[in-house]
Chain A
């Protein structure tokens, strides 16, 4: 078993998929010779040739649209979108065609496309390189959205995404690309799309998060439990944003009676908003405190110097946990 960080887990997943399915093609800007802006596809062109791993033109609208054409003709394209903020031009194809192809053709033509893209800030990049736009994709019918936070999940979810007959957007938290390593099994395995993972078992507060904030939440919860040894917090890494693991979250909230959702994307009309609304519908009579969220602000991502204020961090999460537990009727 290898010890891989997240970026190497991406490479390993693509390698395994290209080995397993001849119809998998990998491309994007600088993906071939350079190995991608974060070096996620390093070595693939050399191993599988320029036909299966190649550089795309700097035109997201075209190469994402081309993916649909390839998929409809039997290939399994895995496209790298260099940054979410650079992909606006591709939304016409993603939202307008890719997501609705199965419905439009009454099930005749699914669109087995995977779009991989870095997500989130905290790396001192520019605003268009730091965005977390998961809701734009998650809001669109017909598209699945996953966001792994560990190397094991990264490889398993990418392989599940490639295996999926429907389009899947894989969001890769930039901050976690090389932040730590994990033992990852060799060869093919999948992490099922739609299943959350319980990082900590707890009885008093449920925290739901995904991506880079899993790390922030773990730190905050450890600090919180150190201060309150009699309390325990249940931490759920959603792993899939759409369809999210409603059952796991509802069962947890029914047990704890309290919910905190954490993500770095903007607050309004967000994943947190969706989860909180659903929990209110399903778990209303179990609630012991108002549902809470720690998120980014409703602003464009600030430049480097303001990033520290903007980013979700363990301090903000810890403060919110305190607020929730101290709520009294």
Chain B
């Protein structure tokens, strides 16, 4: 019997949540076949079978939290004898599942149960009418045979006048010449409900986000710089290249250009592409330029990484964006696709924000936030022109990045985006 333990599949991973179990007792599996799907901090993964054999025991179920080291599945691999011999599959057709699992004996079969007495009898049509009119069927007096609420009962219930309506009528029919504001004619119900909550458990991604944001907020001295960037030519260039990109099956977004521009400037300004090394009390300058890309998914925020962004063309970056975003949304990101970022870009413009104060993806030193592109009138050389402007919000760790450097960084990125053809050279 091979006891499959949940191993550390990430970096220092300790626990995860079972999303789906793919096997059932009696299943034959081959080494590498997926056994179950697990969600851990910031990533999800299929866990493969470590050996060939037959599934003998499943010790996990959907939604269960498991810790590294837990035995999750037992596979009969024929190498170690089990304490209880399992009967062989003796049939000659197909492969019937075989197991020694003992199910409970039925307690005395109980064929009859009393019919509930408080149930409401109403035809589906009457129920529909009640739902449409907002009538609580419990309050309606039935007039139909056998205590059935008829549609007409619901309709006539709705048209019965209430006391409140009567009071309102009194107000309008007898107006006073001068209002006595201390004695309003409108009664206000006393609402004094104690404060209650409905607790919703956090999923692993949310838990990881809480941890990461807290750390960033407590350790980093973040300041945010804001500026608008003229992306009129970028909009035109993208329009020109979009069809070509489509012909290559590439979805070309503004983000691809901005990642490229940021990567080029980071190469020029390594003092932004850095982090604090507490152990040696030094500033560690990253030799690679890996851009994290914050992705909004139904489960929460995930940050896949485009590695070596300075070495990729705009189109290649576009391909990576699409691939990683799809994987993020379908929870297929692998661990190594989510680690190693040196700088992060977050696009909150896609959800309608212009400016924000993005929080640094610790331990990086800076993050760039992108707002919505808006066409606004701008004076250029004394002339008013419509220009496409994109708001930039950049948060930097003030311990190691001075305001001037952050300003220069944004300035350089803005220059490249003003003349985006530079990015294609």
Contacts and interface: CB of A to CB of B under 8 A. Distances in A.
A and B from one complex: yes
Interface of A: 3, 5, 37-39, 83, 123-126, 129-130, 150, 152-153, 174-175, 177-183, 191, 195-198, 201, 223, 226, 245, 247-248, 251-252, 254-255, 257, 284-288, 328-329
Contacts of A251: 112-115
Nearest to B132: A329
Interface of B: 25-26, 62-63, 87, 89-106, 109-116, 119, 121-124, 127-128, 130-132, 146, 148
Contacts of B99: 178-181
Contact of B119 (A153, A196, A248, A286): A286
B93 A198 contact: no
Contact of A178 (B62, B87, B93, B131): B87
A223 B112 contact: no
A175 B105 contact: no
Contacts of A126: 93
Contacts of B116: 254-255
Nearest to A8: B87
B96 A179 contact: yes
Contacts of A329: 124, 127-128, 130-132
Given A197-B111, A255-B116, 7 more contacts: A177-B91, A178-B98, A180-B101, A223-B62, A248-B113, A329-B124, A329-B127
A38 B94 CA distance: 10
Contacts of B97: 123, 175, 178-179
Contacts of A175: 96-97
A281 to B, nearest CB: 13
B112 A248 contact: yes
13 contacts: A126-B93, A178-B90, A179-B96, A179-B99, A181-B101, A182-B104, A191-B109, A198-B110, A247-B112, A254-B115, A255-B115, A284-B124, A286-B119
Contacts of B121: 285-286
A37 B93 contact: yes
A125 B110 contact: no
Contacts of B105: 152, 182-183
Given A124-B94, A175-B97, A329-B127, A180 B119 contact: no
A97 B94 CA distance: 33
Nearest to B118: A255
Contacts of A223: 62
B111 A287 contact: no
Contacts of B95: 123-124
A123 B97 CA distance: 8
A310 B240 CA distance: 48
A282 to B, nearest CB: 12
Contacts of B122: 285
Contacts of A37: 91-93
B90 A38 contact: yes
Contacts of B112: 247-248, 251
**3 nearest A-B residue pairs (beta carbon):** A125-B94, A123-B94, A329-B131
Given A123-B93, A247-B112, A255-B115, A181 B103 contact: yes
Nearest to A251: B115
Nearest to A328: B131
A247 B93 contact: no
Given A5-B87, A37-B92, A181-B102, A226 B123 contact: no
A170 B408 CA distance: 83
A198 B119 contact: no
A255 B119 contact: yes
A221 to B, nearest CB: 13
Contacts of B115: 251, 254-255
A197 B113 CA distance: 11
Contacts of B98: 178-179
Given A177-B96, A182-B102, A226 B63 contact: yes
Contacts of B62: 223, 226
Given A179-B96, A286-B119, A288-B127, A150 B111 contact: no
Given A284-B123, A285-B122, A198 B90 contact: no
B109 A182 contact: no
A96 B136 CA distance: 55
Contacts of B109: 191, 195, 197
B28 to A, nearest CB: 10
Contacts of A152: 105-106
Given A178-B99, A181-B100, A285-B123, A245 B111 contact: yes
Nearest to A125: B94
Contacts of A124: 94-95
Contacts of B111: 195-198, 245, 247-248
A313 to B, nearest CB: 10
A105 B124 CA distance: 47
Contacts of A179: 25-26, 96-99, 101
A285 B148 contact: yes
Nearest to B125: A329
Nearest to B104: A182
A39 to B, nearest CB: 5
Contacts of A191: 109
A248 B132 CA distance: 33
Nearest to A236: B111
Contact of A198 (B113, B130, B148): B113
A233 to B, nearest CB: 15
A286 B103 CA distance: 34
A5 B99 CA distance: 9
